[in-house]
Amino acid sequence: MGLGTVAITGAAGNIGSAVRQALREEVTRMILLDRIPIRRQAANEHADIVDLRDAAAVEAALAGADSVLHLGGLPDEAPLADLLEVNVLGTQNVLEAARRSGIARVVLASSNRVTGFYPTAHITSTQEPVRPDGLYGVSKAAVEALGQMYADKFGLSVICLRIGSFEEKPTEARHLATWLSPRDAVGYIRAALTAPRSTGFATGYAVSANTRRFWALPASSVLDYTPVDDAEHYVAHIAGTHAPADASAPQAGPYALPEFTLRHLQG
Q: Which residues are catalytic?
A: 136
Q: 101: how many CB neighbours lie within 10 A of its CB? A: 14
* Of residues 163, 154, 2, 4, the one with CA closest to residue 70: 163
Write out the DSSP string of 76-109: S---HHHHIIIIIHHHHHHHHHHHHHT-SEEEEE
- CA atoms in the 13 A half-sphere facing the CB of 218: 27
Q: 212: how many CB neighbours lie within 10 A of its CB? A: 18
Burial of 1 (0-12, 13-18, 19+ CB in 10 A): exposed
